[in-house]
């Protein structure tokens, strides 16, 4: 078995306003879903200004959703997310074809 490939994904979004504004609730999806060939090793989320409340939940598709609430006003909102992942190479599937399917592809 080959060693998994490890890589890091970083996403930064910055919103700037001409004067301080109040922020509503923000829902973010920065973390990829783990699967049979993808493992989440570490994740980090830094939000500026610091939210008054930050919690995580799973939606109906099993996505990891961060929900941030804020108090006060600010003229800038920054999201800095980083995730380190391991990708495991998987063999190509060995599809079983019906005999008639082989005759259709042989002529091409």
pTM over 0.85: no
Would you state the pLDDT for residue 59?
Answer: 93
Beta bridge partners of 6: 86
| Residues 59/27, Cβ–Cβ less than 8 Å | no
Instruction: Pick 107 or 73 by higher pLDDT.
Output: 73
d(CA 59, CA 75) in angstroms, rounded, equals 30
pLDDT tens, 77-94?
Answer: 999 999 999 999 877 777
pLDDT band for position 19 (50/70/90)? very high
Q: How confident is the model at residue 43 (pLDDT cuts 50, 70, 90)?
A: very high
């Amino acid at each position: 078995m080959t060693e998994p490939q490890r890589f890091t994904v970083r996403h930064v979004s910055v919103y700037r306003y001409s004067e301080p504004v109040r922020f509503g609730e923000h829902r973010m999806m920065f973390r990829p879903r783990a699967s049979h060939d993808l493992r989440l090793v570490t994740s980090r989320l830094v939000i500026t200004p610091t939210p008054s409340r930050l919690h995580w939940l799973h939606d109906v598709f099993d996505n990891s959703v961060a929900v941030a609430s804020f108090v006060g006003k600010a003229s800038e909102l920054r999201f800095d997310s980083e995730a380190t992942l391991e990708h495991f190479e998987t063999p190509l599937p060995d599809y079983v074809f019906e005999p008639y399917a082989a005759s259709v592809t042989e002529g091409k």
